[in-house]
Amino acid sequence: MRNLDRGLLIAIDELILRDSFLKQHSQSIRAVVGNGVHGADAALIDLLPNLEIIASHSSGLDKIDLVKCQERGIRVTYAPGSSAEEVADLAILLAMATLRRICEADRFVRSGEWKKRDFRLTSKFSGKSVGIVGLGRIGSAIAKRAAAFGCPISYHSRSEKKDSCYKYYPKVIDLAANSQILMLSCALTSETRHIINREVIDSLGPEGVLINIARGPLIDEPELVSALLEGRLAGAGLDVLENEPDVPEQFIELDNVVLSPHVGACTVETRKLLADVVIANLEAHFLKKPLLTPVI
């Protein structure tokens, strides 16, 4: 409870500082820079009467109220594809770490257990069927990497990609039923929220592994927890959670879950590239030039 109270106090202090800053400077703020965690909701936008542009260095737009921006005539830019390679790298890493139980193996060695017994057998990644939910820039980068490991690739998206050589499933539940590893790389929308529910998880099955490098709310988290506890799913690799940074206690205790703190795009190289995209869009806006990556 002590750590929880400290975290709550820090959050409250941050809110007080934010509100104080906005009260002092709300009239002069003309631009907001966002990311995959912090954007601009309707409440923030309403506090900024002279806001002209929101420049996000994320490829996702779920943290920005686009309807409100359209109503106010506020420009919005994002960074599509800038982090696709790094995020795809992490997706493969999470899959391998989950199947080979790398985190558990690390603890096994550090604790001295290796001196007492052999480590358990694990499962390989190569050759396993990989299903990808969302075959955009990141999904395509994941497919390219997985294919190099001899993995058959299939996918689900809003519509079939005519130029894709991978097998298409119109329903995500059918994709899960025909995959050993299910990877999520789609955008979070009202249609995709909890797209991974109990039925999809059960279709993936007790030997299946779920990987999420997109957005936490794509998964019905309590259903994922129960499936892992009950053995209806073999494992999960999660870079994102439904209520970040809050982590379900069960995830902490489970050896078949690999967790990372939403760091798919957190490399020095990508952060510099994303910053360049944001700055270029802001410069273009204030110099009254065409935006580089406009959404609105």
**Residue at 3 is within a domain:** no
Max intra-chain CA distance, the chain: 69
**Residue at 103 is within a domain:** yes
**Residue at 164 is within a domain:** yes
For residue 14, the model assigns a pLDDT of 58
Do 187 and 273 lie in one domain? The reply is no
In the chain, how many domains are there? 2
Q: pLDDT tens digits, the chain, 296 residues: what are they?
A: 344 444 433 344 555 677 788 888 889 999 999 987 888 999 999 999 999 999 998 888 898 999 999 999 999 999 887 789 999 999 999 999 999 999 999 999 999 999 999 999 999 999 999 999 999 999 999 999 999 999 999 999 999 999 999 999 999 999 999 999 999 999 999 999 999 999 999 999 999 999 999 999 999 999 999 999 999 999 999 999 999 999 999 999 999 999 999 999 999 999 899 999 999 999 999 999 999 999 99
Q: Which of 145, 215, 221, 285 is an active site residue?
A: 215
Do 176 and 52 lie in one domain? The reply is no
**Residue of 187, 183, 121, 124 lying closest to 153 (CA atoms):** 183
Q: Which of 52, 193, 244, 271 is an active site residue?
A: 244
Q: What is the DSSP string of 27-48?
A: TT--EEEE-SS--B-HHHHHH-
For residue 24, the model assigns a pLDDT of 87
Judge contact between 131 and 175, C-beta under 8 A: yes
Do 213 and 72 lie in one domain? The reply is no
Q: Which of 137, 145, 262, 285 is an active site residue?
A: 262
CA distance 276 to 290: 16
For residue 3, the model assigns a pLDDT of 44
Judge contact between 217 and 245, C-beta under 8 A: no
**Residue of 191, 251, 258, 246 lying closest to 227 (CA atoms):** 251
Do 95 and 78 lie in one domain? The reply is no
Do 98 and 53 lie in one domain? The reply is no
Do 62 and 105 lie in one domain? The reply is no
Do 36 and 62 lie in one domain? The reply is yes
pLDDT digits 0-9 by tens, 63-76: 899 999 999 999 99
CA distance 190 to 41: 16
CA distance 224 to 241: 11
Do 78 and 125 lie in one domain? The reply is no
Tokens of 77: 């830019």
- Determine the structural domain holding residue 62 and report its residue range: 11-82+268-286
**Residue at 161 is within a domain:** yes
Helices 84-99 & 268-286 angle (0-180, nearest 10): 150
**Residue at 126 is within a domain:** yes
Do 30 and 146 lie in one domain? The reply is no
Question: For this structure, is 156 an active site residue?
Answer: no
**Residue at 294 is within a domain:** no
Question: For this structure, is 271 an active site residue?
Answer: no
**Residue at 157 is within a domain:** yes
Do 33 and 96 lie in one domain? The reply is no
**Residue at 4 is within a domain:** no
What CATH number is given to the structural domain containing 15? 3.40.50.720
Do 68 and 135 lie in one domain? The reply is no
Peptide bond into 80 cis (omega under 30): no
